[in-house]
Amino acid sequence: MAEPIRVALFVTCLVDLFRPTVGFAAVKLLEDAGCSVTVPALQTCCGQPAYNSGDRGDAKAIARQVIGAFAGFDYVVVPSGSCGGMIKTHYPRLFADEPALAEQAANLAARTFELVAFLADVVKTTRIDARYAGVATYHDACSGLRELDVKEQPRRLLKDVAGLTLKEMATPEVCCGFGGTFCVKYPEISDKMVTDKVADIAATGADTLLCGDMGCLLNMAGKLSRLGKTVSVRHVAEVLAGMTDDAPPIGAPREKR
Amino acid sequence: MQPTSQAFKANAHQALGDPNLQRAMGMMRTGFPKNRAAAIERLPEFDALRDEGIAIKNHVIANLDFYLETFEKNVIAQGGKVHWCRTAQEACETVLGICRSLDAKTVTKGKSMVGEEMALNDFLEANGVTPIETDLGEYIVQIRHESPSHIIAPAVHLVKEQMAESFRATHTDLPHARSLEEPRVLCDEARAVLRPKFLAADVGITGANFLIAETGSSVIVTNEGNGDLTQILPKAHIVLASLEKVVPTLEDASTLLRLLARSATGQEFSTYTTVSTGPRRAEDNDGPGEYHVVLLDNGRTALLGGEFQDMLRCIRCAACLNHCPVYGAVGGHAYGWVYSGPMGAVLTPSLIGIEQAGHLPNASTFCGRCESVCPMRIPLPKMMRQWREREFEKKLTPKTQRWGLGLWAYVAQRPALYRLASGVTGAILGMLGGRHGHFRSLPFASGWTDMRDLPAPEGKSFMSLWAERRKA
């Protein structure tokens, strides 16, 4: 029997703190696809908050930590296009003027994939063993879409989820207004953007919103909840892994057991 | 123009509360992207054309001195004159000098963003020369005493009812009760009002989309033909152009024109493309008596060889504005100076200083839609981030943000401490918010919770659950 593919999971700070279920869903999907999954203990965050705030020094320090923690695995898989894009696209740029680290960053970048793209394009998962009764609409998170070309892969895999119908919103590629620290630095503009996004979501009549990035999900779920709209919000991995019974939708009350 | 970019947040607040502006921007947000997408759909080689266009501009930027000198030589050979101006003030003085030499009372103007950069209208008016904008959108913002809010659609922030109101207030010799509901009627009225002004003008001023080195020509594109009347009828034609507008040949210009119209309005070509070469010759039926090119630097040469050099490739199509969700939310005036949207967020700090324009490169989610539609593939998000780095180095970033970031970065570089912090935070917030699943307000997070609920963490962090599972 072939050796299993050795995958390291980069959990991401938002999944770690807000939504462990997504981490476990990622582990299940990867194991179902024949991978052995390790979660390196020395991970914290990808460094994007520092990088996007102009703090290159701290961004580099954190990137070095990630490069070290994830050395030696066949692949590094991230349930986020944003953090995935940081490692894959931006780490090599961060070390452009330090040849030794640039090489390590390029090596890591080449092995790093966003979860759904990894499943669809690298291990070419053919069997998604999940069931979800509902009509879902899918928001294309910006970094995954524009930095990593994540577009049709989630849609392709979602087709195999029994009971699920996908209904596209008018502008799935328009930013939801999260933007990391942007949403608290410019809250009024962010609010306008997420208000428009939520209207677009509501106009589809879908009962479920899916997306591959926790930041966007927290933002959209928070706005839907504030406006009293009953749309179930979930990370796409939860649905693909058939783990929607493990946790209530994002921002929804915990059911009494 | 006195920049108000420092007041970006207040400007944005005002724009978000302006129902007319919001209605106008709502139309803009759907119209432009739809038209661009359709135009590009019809041109399968668009990406190859993009690469060709980029190569042309990169070549020019690398050889700018050569092409500018060639351009000047050929302008002179055609009987025109080039005025090299380092600053906006020098350029204003030059234009005024030409107007005075012809004893000019009125000048007609085609659309020019370089003219806005120079604040030329205010300067001419203060010196007894009356400028008349002839582009419909520019005319509307001029009679409203506003500035253009978009580089190709100056009045895009207005709804047609506001335009009608301004026409009624300005064209007082026309019957007050006339109907001005149809855009066509507004257009006809502007045309009728402007016609005698075209004929009476002493000097015509236009911008330039391109300067052609090999022929010494300037090129403008319009959809109204106003540029042609502006430049052909008066005694002199003055072209205002920033120096990166030069391209080697007419062939190069046509490559870029094919990209420009599609990216801008979704047209295959603008309605009018006008090539102007020198003043009227003896055998010409019409044309200006003099042809001047005011070549403005205003900080651009300082970008050469630096980290913002790619910005000089910009052909001012406005695709980045048209696709930017931040621009679409607040409109162009919020940016507080001539250029807005993503290209403005990069260019404005270069031209007026990051101290003045610090908000602009920060007011972006880095969604990347601008770069994806830019015909010149200018890495706009990357350059906005570079500005943030310059701000961080100069300690211009707000103190609370620096401290917060510093604390977070300290913890993020100590995985054990981080584990502890995220574990405790998750457990506490999960416990407090678990019943509702979200928080309606939270101290220290009002930036978030003023606008939206904060979904509560599930409880224990992934890393602690993972560790428990490993032990079990």
Domain spans in chain A, listed from the N-terminal domain onward: 5-121, 130-240
> What value does the mean pLDDT of chain B take?
95
Check B447 against A45: CB less than 8 A apart: no
Alpha-carbon separation of residue B94 from B105, B119, B205 (angstroms): 16, 13, 12
Check A56 against B389: CB less than 8 A apart: yes
B167 pLDDT higher than 70: yes
Domain limits for position B292: 43-301
The beta-carbon neighbor of A44 closest among B418, B454, B465 is B418
The pLDDT of residue A256 is 52
Give the contacts of B171 (CB within 8 A, at least 6 positions apart).
B189, B193
Domain A130-240: CATH class, spelled out: alpha beta
Taking contacts as CB-CB distances below 8 angstroms, the residues of chain A near B466 are 23, 39
Over the stretch B173-212, which tens digit does the pLDDT of each residue have?
Answer: 999 989 999 999 999 999 999 999 999 999 999 999 999 9
Taking contacts as CB-CB distances below 8 angstroms, the residues of chain A near B325 are 174-175, 177, 193
Among the candidates B301, B332, B349, a domain finishes at B301
Q: Compute how many other C-beta atoms are within 10 angstroms of the C-beta atom of residue B49.
A: 18
Average the pLDDT over B75-84 and give the result. Answer: 98
Average the pLDDT over B253-277 and give the result. Answer: 96
Whether A61 has its CB under 8 Å from any CB of chain B: the answer is: yes
Query: Rounded to 5 degrees, what angle do the CA atoms A207, A210, A211 make?
Result: 160
Size of interface A-B (CB pairs under 8 A): 208
Q: Does B138 map to a domain?
A: yes
B472 pLDDT higher than 80: no
Check A222 against B454: CB less than 8 A apart: yes
Taking contacts as CB-CB distances below 8 angstroms, the residues of chain A near B445 are 184
Distance of CA B132 to the CA centre of its chain: 22
Check A19 against B438: CB less than 8 A apart: no
B93 pLDDT higher than 90: yes
Q: Does B383 map to a domain?
A: no
Q: Which DSSP string do the residues of chain A spell out, in sequence order?
A: -PPPEEEEE---HHHHHH-HHHHHHHHHHHHHTTEEEE--TT----SHHHHHTT-HHHHHHHHHHHHHHTTT-SEEEES-HHHHHIIIIIHHHHTTT-HHHHHHHHHHHHHEEEHHHIIIIIS-------EEEEEEEE---HHHHHHH--SHHHHHHHTTSEEEEE---S-TTS--S-TTTHHHHSHHHHHHHHHHHHHHHHHHT-SEEEES-HHHHHHHHHHHHHTT---EEEEHHHHHTT-TTSSPPTTSPPPP-
Whether A193 has its CB under 8 Å from any CB of chain B: the answer is: yes
Question: What whole-number distance in Å separates Cα of residue B459 and Cα of residue A58?
Answer: 29
Closest residue in A to B15 (Cα) is A189
> Over pLDDT 70: what percentage of chain A?
98
Query: What CATH number does the domain containing B140 carry?
Result: 3.40.50.10420
> Over pLDDT 70: what percentage of chain B?
100
- Could you tell me the strand order of the sheet in which A162-166 lies? A162-166, A131-138, A208-211, A232-235
Looking at per-residue confidence, does A250 or A129 come out higher? A250
CATH number, domain A5-121: 3.40.50
Average the pLDDT over B228-239 and give the result. Answer: 95
Check A58 against B413: CB less than 8 A apart: yes
Chain A closest CA to B421's CA: distance in Å? Answer: 10
Check A226 against B393: CB less than 8 A apart: no
Window 133-192 of A, Cβ < 8 Å to B: 142-143, 146-147, 173-175, 177-192
Q: Which helix (H) or strand (E) holds B169?
A: helix B160-170
Taking contacts as CB-CB distances below 8 angstroms, the residues of chain B near A223 are 451-453
Q: How confident is the model at residue B434 (pLDDT cuts 50, 70, 90)?
A: confident
Over the stretch B132-165, which tens digit does the pLDDT of each residue have?
Answer: 999 999 999 999 999 999 999 999 999 999 999 9
Q: Does B160 map to a domain?
A: yes
Find the length of chain A: 257
Q: How confident is the model at residue A203 (pLDDT cuts 50, 70, 90)?
A: very high
Q: How confident is the model at residue A2 (pLDDT cuts 50, 70, 90)?
A: confident
Q: How confident is the model at residue A1 (pLDDT cuts 50, 70, 90)?
A: low
* Burial per residue of B132-146, b for 16 or more beta-carbon CB atoms within 10 angstroms, e otherwise: bbbbbbbbbbbbbee
**CA torsion angle for B112, B117, B121, B122 (degrees, to 10)?**
170
Residue with token string 């320090």: A61
Identical fold, A5-121 and A130-240: yes
Average the pLDDT over A210-224 and give the result. Answer: 98
Among the candidates B301, B326, B357, a domain finishes at B301
Q: Identify whether the C-beta of residue B422 lies closer than 8 Å to the C-beta of residue B461.
A: yes
The pLDDT of residue B400 is 86
Average the pLDDT over A177-200 and give the result. Answer: 96
The beta-carbon neighbor of A219 closest among B362, B393, B452 is B452
Q: Identify whether the C-beta of residue A53 lies closer than 8 Å to the C-beta of residue A245.
A: no
Taking contacts as CB-CB distances below 8 angstroms, the residues of chain A near B12 are 186, 188-189
Q: What ipTM score was computed for the predicted complex, to two decimals?
A: 0.96
- The answer to whether residues B416 and B291 belong to one domain is no
The pLDDT of residue B143 is 97
Over the stretch B288-308, which tens digit does the pLDDT of each residue have?
Answer: 999 999 999 999 999 999 999
> Is 0.80 topped by the overall pTM?
yes
Domain count, chain B: 2
Q: Does B426 map to a domain?
A: yes
Q: 3-class SS at B221?
A: strand
Q: Does B221 map to a domain?
A: yes
Check B326 against A193: CB less than 8 A apart: yes
The pLDDT of residue A257 is 44
Interface test with A, best of B32, B366, B400, B403 (most A CBs within 10 A): B366
Average the pLDDT over A121-143 and give the result. Answer: 94
Chain A closest CA to B102's CA: distance in Å? Answer: 49
Query: Rounded to 5 degrees, what angle do the CA atoms B65, B70, B72 make?
Result: 95
- The answer to whether residues B297 and B413 belong to one domain is no
Q: Does B203 map to a domain?
A: yes
Among the candidates B249, B269, B301, a domain finishes at B301
